[in-house]
Amino acid sequence: MKRNNISGGAVILFGLLIALGPQFLFKMCGQHESGYSACHYAGLAELCVGILIASVGICIVLISDIKVQLGLTIGLFLMAIVAGLIPYEIFFGVCDSDTMSCRNAALPALTVLSSCLLIGVVYNMIYLEKKTKT
C-alpha cells in the first residue's frame, strides 16, 4: 500500500472524528433557555474544520505529486491547530460548568484528536521534505 494512501486515510479518519465527534460521539450542548451556548457554535465550527481536514485527506490519497502533498500537509498543520483551539476560549470555548458533557468529554477528546493529528502531520511534513530533497 502506498504511503500517501495510509497517511491520507489517517487524515480522513481524524477529520471525520473531529467533524462528527461533537455531533454524535461526545455531544456538545444544544439550546439553553437563553439561546444557544458557545459550545454549540464550537461544535459547528469543528464540523466545518473536520470536513475540510477530511477533504484534504482525500486530496492526499488522490494526488501523487510529492510537492503538492507537502503543500497540503502544511495546510493540514494549520487546520489541526485551529481544530485544537476552537473548544478553548481563544475562539468559542465550552460551558464553564464541570458537570457538562462538553467540558468533560468533548474538550479532552478534541484536544487529543487535534494533537494526534498535529503530531502525524509534522512527521509527514518531515518525511515529505526529506523525500523532495532526494
pLDDT value of position 47:
95
pLDDT at residue 26 is higher than 90: no
What average pLDDT does the segment 82-103 reach? Answer: 85
pLDDT at residue 67 is higher than 60: yes
Instruction: Give the domain ranges of the chain.
Output: 3-133
Q: For residue 32, what are the β-bridge partners? A: 35
Q: For residue range 107-127, what is the model confidence (pLDDT) as tens digits?
A: 899 999 999 999 999 999 999
The DSSP secondary structure of the chain, one letter per residue, reads --HHHHHHHHHHHHHHHHHHIIIIISPPP-EETTEE-HHHHHHHHHHHHHHHHHHHHHHHHH---HHHHHHHHHHHHHHHHHHHHTTSTTTT---S-TTSHIIIIIHHHHHHHHHHHHHHHHHHHHHHHHHHH-
3-state SS assignment for residue 90: coil
Give the whole-number percent of the chain exceeding pLDDT 90: 59
pLDDT value of position 31:
67
pLDDT tier for residue 32 given thresholds of 50, 70 and 90: low
Element spanning 129, H or E: helix 107-133
pLDDT at residue 1 is higher than 60: no
Residues contacting residue 111 through CB under 8 Å, at least 6 positions apart: 84, 87
pLDDT tier for residue 73 given thresholds of 50, 70 and 90: very high
pLDDT tier for residue 36 given thresholds of 50, 70 and 90: confident
CA 35 to chain centre: 27
